[in-house]
Structure 1
Amino acid sequence: MKYAFIAAHCGEYPVRRMCQVLKVSPSGYYDWRKRPRSQRQQANDGLLGAIERAYETSRQTYGSPRIHAALKQQGLCVSRKRVARLMQQHDLVGKGSRRRPPHTTQREVDAPVAPNRLAQHFTASQPDEIWLGDITYLDTYEGWLYLALVMDLFSRRVVGWAMAPHLRATLVEQALRMALGWRLPLTSLLHHSDRGSQYTSHLVQTLLADHHIQVSMSGAGCCYDNAPMESFIGTLKTECAAGPFATHALARQAIFEYIEVWYNRQRLHSSLDYTSPALFERRFYDTFPVR
C-alpha cells in the first residue's frame, strides 16, 4: 500500500521525500515498480474499471451496496466488501443524506381529517392499490418552487407530480390529476397523505371522492406515517436538488429529468431488490397480466 501511494503521487512530491516519510527505501520502491502485477492486482484493475463505470452511470450517487448490485446485474461475481474496499481506496463516495427541509404542512384547524388507515403498513400487493402524497420545496434564486408528489407504494414509482411557486390546493390537485390520467386505476385505491390544508381541502377531497378513492391521513406531526415518501424526498434532495437552482425553469427541467429518466426507469431501489420501479412493475405484469 505504501508503494502504491508513492506511485499514485509521484507527480506531486519527490519520490525520495515520500519514501523517507513512509519509512521505506527508494530502492525497494523501484524494485516494486519493476515487478509484474499479480493476478489479483490485475483482477482488481479490471473490477475497478467496472466500478468506475457504474459509479459514473449513477451520476456519482451510488455507494457500495448499489454499485455491488449493479455489478451483479452485469454478471460480475464479486463480494460487496471487495467493492467497498476498492471504492474507499479510490475515493469513490456515494452522495449521503442531508438535513430534512422545513415542514411545508399547513393545517386548517376545523378541516375534517381522515383516520390513518395505512397505519405504517408500507406494503402493497399490486400497483395502484396504495398511493402516497406529499409536498416539498425546491430552492431557486427566483424564490421557492413547491413540488407535489404522488407515489405508488407497490413499486415506489412516482406516478404524478406538479410544481408551482405557491402552496394552494390546486398544486396537489394537478399532481393527482396527472396520476389519475396516466394510471387509470381499476381497483379500489387508498390515498395517504399528511393533514395539510391542501389535502383536507374541498377541492382535493372532492376529486378523490369522485374517483372512489379511500382517504388516509398521517397522525399530527408524525413523519414516520409516510416514511417511503419522506425517503424519496430525501433522495431527490440529495441527488438532484442539493443546492439552489438558478431559475424555476431549470428546476422544473431537472426534476422532470430526475423523476422520469433516472429515478422511475434506472435507479436501483433497495426495497425492490435493487431493481428500478419501472422494471419492478414490468415483472409484476409479466407474471400477472392485466385481463
Structure 2
Amino acid sequence: MIWELRHEFKLSLLLEIAELPRSTYYYYIKHMKDEDKYSEIRKQITDIFHENKGRYGYRRITMEMHNRGYVINHKTVLRLMNEEKIKCMVRIKKYRSYKGEVGKVAPNLLERDFSTSAPNEKWVTDVTEFSLFGRKLYLSPILDLYSSYLVSYTISEHPALSLVLNMARQALSVLSRGAEPILHSDQGWQYQHKQYQKLLKDHGIKQSMSRKGNCLDNAVIENFFGLVKSELLYMK
C-alpha cells in the first residue's frame, strides 16, 4: 500500500512538472498494480535450471519450455534468465593436440556436412583433456553422426598414440561388414601418424581432417565434449 502511494505521488508530481498528458498519467496508474505477466514463466525457467543443476542454457531451457506446452521465444527466455541472474556454467578450454604440418595428410571430406541417412556413414573423433584432483586424463571417442552413438572410446593418463589406435581398433571390431565410413578429426599429431593412417586404409576407412585452427569443422565432437564436461564433471 505504501509502495503504491509513493508511486502515485511520483506520477502526480511528474504530471505537474513535465505537463504529462492526463491520459498517460491514468494509464500508468491503471497498470501499476498489474502482476508480472511472466511470473509463471519465470518460475518454470528457474525450476528447469535447478532441476538440471545449472547445466541448461537458454536454448535448452526454451526447448524444455516448449515440451511443457509454453509458447515462448528463446530471446525472452534469455532476458528472463538474465533478470533472474541464472546462467549456464562456462565450459572449460579443450586440450589442443596439433603438431606437425598443415593440411598435408588428409583432405576435409566432411566439409561441415554433418547430415547422414544411415549409421556408419560419417564418424567424428577428437581427444580432450580432463583435470581431476591434480591429475590429467585424456578421453578419445568416436561418434557416429547418424545418432550421436558412441562407437568406441579410450581413456588414458597420457595423450599417446596408443590412445587413438586402441579407440580405432575398438570401433573397427564392431563395424558392420562392407561399411566404409568417413572418419573425421582435427590435425592432431596422432591422426597424422603413419600407423594410424595405415590402420584406417587397411580397413577401407576414408580419413578426413579439419582445416588448421577451425574448430567448426568438427563442431559435433566439440559440442559433445562440452556437454560431458559441463554435465558430468565440473558440476560436481
Q: Structure 1's 148 and 86: CA in aligned 2 closer, same or farther, altered over 3 A?
A: same
| Distance in 1 separating the partners of 2:76 and 2:218 | 35
**1:88 pairs with one of 82, 92, 111:** 82
**Structure 1 Cα separation of the partners of residues 126 and 88 of structure 2:** 26
The alpha-carbon distance between structure 1 residues 52 and 134, as it changes in their structure 2 partners (threshold 3 A), is: same
In structure 1, the residue matched to 2:199 is: 207
The answer to whether the 8 A contact 2:139-2:154 is kept is yes
Of 220, 226, 233, 2:225 maps to: 233
Q: Between the two proteins, what is the percent identity of the paired residues?
A: 29
Structure 1 residues not aligned, in runs of 5+: 4-15, 29-36, 244-253, 255-291
Answering whether residue 133 of structure 2 is matched by residue 141 of structure 1, we say yes
- Inter-partner Cα distance in structure 2 for 1:227 and 1:58: 24
- Out of 58, 67, 80, the position equivalent to 1:64 is 58
> Is 1:153 matched with 2:145?
yes
Partner of 1:191: 183
User: CA deviation digits over 1:115-140, x for unaligned, max 9?
Assistant: 22223333333332111111111113
| Distance in 2 (alpha carbons) for counterparts of 1:79 and 1:167 | 43
Structure 2: how far apart are the matches of 1:235 and 1:165? 21
**d(CA) in 2 for partners of 1:221 and 1:72?**
36
Pair 1:105 & 2:110 matched: no
Q: 2-side partners of 1:66 and 1:185: how far apart?
A: 38
What is the aligned partner in structure 1 of residue 215 from structure 2? Answer: 223
Deviation at 1:106, TM superposition (A): 3.5
Residue-by-residue CA offset, 1:77-102 (whole Å, 9 max, x unaligned)? 3343443343233222122345x345
Give secondary structure in 1 for the equivalent of 2:158: coil
Deviation at 1:177, TM superposition (A): 3.7
Q: Name the amino acid aligned to 1:124.
A: T
Structure 1 residues 181 and 76, CA gap change in structure 2 (3 angstroms): farther
Instruction: List per-residue Cα deviations over 1:128-180 (Å, max 9, x = no partner).
Output: 21111111111133432111121223334443221101122221123234444
Quote the Cα distance in structure 2 between the aligned partners of 1:88 and 1:185.
Answer: 52
Aligned residues: 211
Q: Which residue of 1 aligns with 2:163?
A: 171
Which whole-Å deviations, capped at 9, do the CAs of 1:218-246 have from their partners, x for residues lacking one?
A: 33444343233233334444444559xxx
What secondary structure, in the 3-state scheme, does the structure 2 residue paired with 1:131 have?
strand
Unpaired runs of at least 5, structure 2: 10-32
Alignment correspondent of 2:115: 123
TM-score using structure 1 length: 0.58
Show the 5 A alignment for 1:244-255. none
Instruction: Give the conservation status (yes or no) of the 8 Å contact 1:104–1:137.
Output: no
User: 1:103, CA displacement in angstroms?
Assistant: 1.7
Label 1:150 to 1:79 Cα distance change in 2 as closer, same or farther (>3 A).
Answer: same
Distance 1:103 1:93, change over 3 A: same
TM-score (norm 2): 0.69
Structure 1 residues 73 and 155: alpha-carbon distance in aligned structure 2, compared to 1, 3 A threshold: same
Q: Is the 8 A contact 2:122 2:182 kept in 1?
A: yes
Write the distance in 2 (CA, Å) between the matches of 1:162 and 1:168.
11
